[in-house]
Structures are given as structure tokens and as C-alpha cells.
Structure 1
Amino acid sequence: MDLIELFFIFLGTAVIVYYGVKLLLFSRMLFPKVFFPQPKNFFSSMGEWAVVTGASEGIGRAYAFEFIIKVKKTKKTFCVLCLCKLHFRLPQLAEQGMNVVIMSRTKATLDQVAKKIGDTTGRKVKVIVTDFMKENVFGEIEDQLRDLNIGVLVNNVGMLPRVIPCKFLESAELDQTITKLINCNVKTVAKMCKIILPGMDNRGKGVILNMSSGVASVPFPLYTLYAASKVFVERFSQALQAEYKDKGIIIQAVSPFGVSTRMAAYAETSFVTLSPEGFVKSSLQYIRAGDKTHGSICHMVLGWLLQSIPPKVLCSESMLHSLQDYVKKKTAPKSAAQAAFVNKGN
């Protein structure tokens, strides 16, 4: 047996072992309750309070109402404060008696959510109205959170410049869009961590969940600004986890693909496009699964498939035109229906 033959045998064995290990690691994701178990007091053991940014609609609202349902099953007290466009629910937090801080820029909607929580549970509800797309909003937030024992932070707030994808220079009011998107998607994540992480560091425990997106897995033309901002969220989260995991703090980037929210033009739910409630229930099972999760099995498979497509194919002109046509086709009926509703209302 010559050296060349030995080389190929060794190479083949290495490839088999490599993909065997990857398959074994992936198989753990099929049984999160077995491989990533959470004790009943997991969240409450981290601290007295949870803070969630964004609470008025979409995934965030689904999280909030799931939280309310869970609250009815417990006699423990909680408090709710509301932060911007919530995209995350924390049912276990209520089940285990954590106090919760939420925020949003939409006061009317938040008041409705707060009333619902109050009517349903009889508990105390506080609302903070803030717009993370603006400058200089964090001083007041820090004052409101200063004396709280915060065990969980969910950085969920985010903005998508427009649903219909377009090239960078075709974006309307590009200068303003850049500023708003960086403030909302990038600056907010770093600032909220800066406010809350020191307390977790001092206590040696805590959980931070930063909402990214599946589109951050690869360069994603036509959603350039949005995808790039979510790359920041992923890398920032993974680096922070490396810095603070020895302190007992869990920091994770959550990167979903399709979820039926306003940001996705309320796409119909399917095996690929999850309801906000379905995504929330699934993603919370993977908090102990590493510094990044797609939040569900179908989205994990989508992430793998997306990364398997050659960049030249993914970024080709024909692919970009197909993406634009697909999104326009999917969103046109909803846009027309919404316009008709507005006109009828007027």
C-alpha cells in the first residue's frame, strides 16, 4: 500500500468522523429537553427581574400573552414594564415568579397589553414608552432599571427598512434609514448589555438573549443593512459569551428565519414559517444549547441549506430578481387588503 493510498484512506476516515460528529451534535437538537434540560427554577434563580425590549406586537406580543396565560397558574407576584417592538416571550419567567420589564414606542398598544395583563391577573403593570430608533434614550432607561436585580435580558427590538427587498442605494431616505437602523438594531443591543451586564457580572449569573436573524448566516443582498446589523448581533453575542461564560452568565444569539409577524408581512404559517407562539415555545428550549440558536429544528435545517448554497449562486442577478418577485407576490395581497381597509376606514 503506497503513501497516496494511505493518504486517501486517512482523508476519507477523517471526513466520515467529521460529519459523524456533526450529525451526532445535530441529533441533540431533536431532543432539547433531554440534552439541554432546565430546572423549574432556572430563570428565577438568575435574579428577581427580567427585561425584554419590544412588546407591542409580533413575536413580542405573543410572548407577552403567553406569559399572561402562564401567570394565571401561579400565585407569585410580578411586575411588567414595557420596552420597543417586543419579539420574545418568557412564559417560564412568570411561572417561576420573576418580575418583568418590557418596553415599546407604541403607547396605545402597550396600554392595551397592560390592561389585559391587569384584568387577567390582577397584578401590577408598569409601562415605559421609548423609541430605540432615536438618540439619547438610554439615560432614562438606566435610571428606571438602576436598583433592580435583573437576571434575564432579552434584546428583541429591531427594525427592517422595508419588506420588499431592494438594493442599498434604492432605499428611500437612506441617510435617515442608516441612522435609525443602527440605533435600533445595533446600538440598542450594546447599550442594554452595558446597562444590565455589570449586575450579572457582580452576582455571577444571568441570561442575555439577543435577537438576530437567519439572514445573518450568509451575505444577503437586497436586505444588506438589515442582514449586516444582525451579523453584529451574532458576533457581539458570541464574543460576550466567550468573555463571561466563566462567570456563570449565558449569552445567546437567537437567529430565526420565517416567523409570521408584521416584519414578514404576516406570511401564512407553515412548516417553514412559524407562528410567533410556536417559535417562542421552541426557542426557549435551546437556551442552554450554545452561543447561537436558530430556535427550531426547521430553521436549523434552513440555516444549513442556506450555507450550503455557493455564494455565486446565492448572489447572482437571477437569484436576486427571483427573491424580489417572490416577496412581492407574497406581500401584494396583504398590502392590497390593508390599503382597502384603510380606505374603507377613511
Structure 2
Amino acid sequence: MQPVLEVSIYTLLRMAFIWQLVSAVIYIVGSLTIAAFLYDNFKSLISIIKAVLEPYFQPHLPKTLVDKFGQWAVVTGATDGIGKEYARELARQGLNLVLISRTKEKLIATTNEIESQYKVKTKWIAVDFTKGLEIYDQIEKELAGIEVGILVNNVGMMYEHPDSLDLVPEKLLWNLLTVNMGSVTMLTRKILPQMIGRRKGAIVNLGSASELQPLPNMTVYAASKKFVTYFTKALELELEEHNIHVQLVMPNFVVTKMNAYADRVMQGGLLFPNAYTFARSAVFTLGKTSETNGFWTHGLQYFFMKMAPLRIRTYVGHQLFKRLRVEALEQKQQKLGLL
């Protein structure tokens, strides 16, 4: 009986060792995963706190956006929504502006409004970003002699309302891809050499929290914003050695014309800031962090969304935009009924 007992004790000890080893591996992997998740989500907040406190310990550091990046900012999609409020906030902080958008009349009105309120220099360039490569040559010529300190790639398009791919007009899809991905790429390419030459500047790319997962019924829009995310993060490392700050801004729903299909969003509130509130908050982060959701409640939403597995996030997004699609179609029918 003694050998059998010895074998049993040996087996139990071996099983206990294996269990301890598995437990240790699970603990280490779990700890590393949690640490990586917390770092990924709080690095932006830590960067902002660090940047706010730095001047107290290093008073020689540049304090204003003009000091950090230069006197001129270029803002695309600058006559409405987030783009217009970005321009106003940059002007409030003393930057001269080049506003780029499609409609000449709105550009003139916006530049006159900003000049009279903030006493800065302005210039406008009217181009349609759905057109070909030649518009970027035009922009380059118009910017000759202007040292661009900050480029805000804000211009973008999305669907008229959430819809399945087969029902979205082909021309709209093509224009959306051209504007959302082409503009951020080509305009950055045009302006980048002068920033590299001066070893000074900032590039701000307006993405979207919709990049966090595939979004059925908003398929192409969300995919185009994922492009912006990857483009921006790669560019950040490319330009690090040239002392150029690259920032990705990923807002959630903001009260703008782009979201006019969603009545609940357009009502505004804590989760749905207006463009003015969002832009003031987002510009505050410029030069302090390379990635932000722009507004604190959007940051919280993004944090909790990331905790769910990709499949669940995609499912929730699908259900949300299916519902928004139905509401948008009902809203459209009601308007048609009033005509």
C-alpha cells in the first residue's frame, strides 16, 4: 500500500504545482491586460495634467499656441459646426486664420465675423473637396508665403441618415471617401514640408469615436474614420523627430448639421455638447496630448465602450443605428407630409 500512497501524494503535488503555475500565468496576463487598458485610456488625461503643470516648474517653455506652433492656422470645413468653432477659438487665442470651405458667401461672412470680433488676420479659400487633385495645387498656391503653424483637418462628409450600403447613392459614397480620407492625406502632404523645415507646427485630424468598431448602417463613414485614426497615429511617430505635434480628435455625437437626422442629439445635453462647447474643450487639449475625445463626457463614453468586446460593441452600434435609421426615415416622411 505504501507505493500507491507515494504515487498519490506525488500526483497531488504535481497537480498543485501545475495549478499554481496556471494561476500565476493568468494573474500576470490579467495584470498586464488591465495595465495596458488603463494606460491606453488615461495617457491622454495624464498628458494634459502634465502639460498644465509643466509651466510652473519650467517657466521658459512656450505658453501660448502662437508661441508653440506659429502665427497662422488653417482650418478646413470652417464655415459650419466644429470647424467654425475651432476657427473662432483659435482666433480667440490670437492666431491668424486661413479658412477653407466650399461656399464663398459663407466664407466671407465667417471671416468678417471673426476679424471684427478678435482683430486677427484672415484669409479664405473656396474649394470643393469632392473634386480632384488640382484643388490641392490651388490651396498650395493660395498659401504661398504663409507659415502655417496649425493645420486642422476638419472637413468631412457622412450619410444623409443611417442606411444600408445598397441604398446609399454611389456618388455620395465616392465623395465621402474622397473627402474623409483624401483631404486629410493630401492637405497634410502639401503643408508638411514647411513645418518640417521650421521644425515647428501642429496637425489636428478630426476623426470620430465611430472608429472604435464597425458600424452597420454607417459602414463607409466609420471605416473612413478608422483610416483617419491609423493615418494620424502613424504620422505622429513619423514626425516626432521633427518636433511636430500630431493630434487625433475623436468626438462622439455633437450638435451639428451632420447629425440633423437624430432629434435626440440635436436637443443637446451633457452627452451631446454643441459645437462651441466641444471646440473650446478640444482646443484646450492641443499641444498637451496626441489623442483625445475632445470633451470629457465623450471620453467617459469611449472608455466604457472599449471595455466591451468588439463583437458586442458592433452589435450595440448596429442596433443603435438601425433605430436611428427608422427615426430618420419617419422624420423625413413627416417633413414631406407637411409640404
Query: Normalising by structure 2, what TM-score?
Result: 0.80
Structure 1 gap ranges (5+): 68-89
SS in 2 for 1:305: helix
- CA separation in 1, counterparts of 2:67 and 2:335? 44
Separation in 2 of the partners of 1:306 and 1:257? 11
Which 4+ residue blocks in structure 1 deviate beyond 6 angstroms? Answer: none
Structure 2 equivalent of residue 50 of structure 1: 73
Cα distance change on mapping 1:275 and 1:322 into 2, 3 Å: closer
Decide whether aligned partners of structure 1 residues 331 and 290 sit closer, same or farther in structure 2, where only a CA change above 3 A counts.
Answer: farther
Q: Summarize deviations over 1:183-230 as a string: whole Å, max 9, x none.
A: 211111111111111011111121000111111111111111111111
**Counterparts of 2:333 and 2:79 in 1: how far apart (Å)?**
21
Counterpart code for 1:144: E
Structure 1 residue aligned with 2:7: none
Deviates more, 1:233-242 or 1:282-291: 282-291
Structure 1 Cα separation of the partners of residues 110 and 337 of structure 2:
26
Structure 1 pair 249/260, CA: closer, same or farther in 2 (3 Å)? same
What letter matches 1:6 in structure 2?
L
Q: In the alignment, what sits opposite 1:7?
A: 22
The answer to whether the Cα contact below 8 Å between 1:28 and 1:35 also exists between their aligned partners in 2 is no
Q: Counterparts of 2:258 and 2:203 in 1: how far apart (Å)?
A: 23
**Paired position in structure 2 for 1:198:** 193
Distance 1:189 1:198 in 2: 15
In structure 2, list runs of 5 or more residues that go unmatched. Answer: 1-15, 56-61
Provide the residue aligned with 1:137 in structure 2. 135
> Structure 1, residues 266-318: CA drift from partner, whole Å, max 9, x if none?
622122212112211222233345543222232223223333444444445x9
Question: Alignment identity in percent?
Answer: 28
Q: How big is the shift at 1:149?
A: 1.1
Q: Compute the RMSD of aligned alpha carbons.
A: 2.9
Equivalent residue for 2:113?
A: 116
Matched residues in 1 for 2:179 and 2:17: separation?
61
2:238 corresponds to which residue? 243
Q: TM-score, normalised by structure 1?
A: 0.79
Write 1 or 2 for the structure with the bigger share of helix: 2
Which residue is 1:161 aligned to?
Answer: 159
| Matches of 1:115 and 1:279, distance apart in 2 | 23
- The aligned residue for residue 214 of structure 1 is 209
Q: Secondary structure at the match of 2:266?
A: coil
> For this pair of structures, how many residues does the alignment match?
311
**Paired position in structure 1 for 2:59:** none
Q: 1:36 aligns with which of 40, 47, 51?
A: 51
Deviation at residue 161 of structure 1 after TM alignment: 2.5
Which structure: larger Rg? Answer: 2
Q: Distance in 1 between matches of 2:284 and 2:118?
A: 25
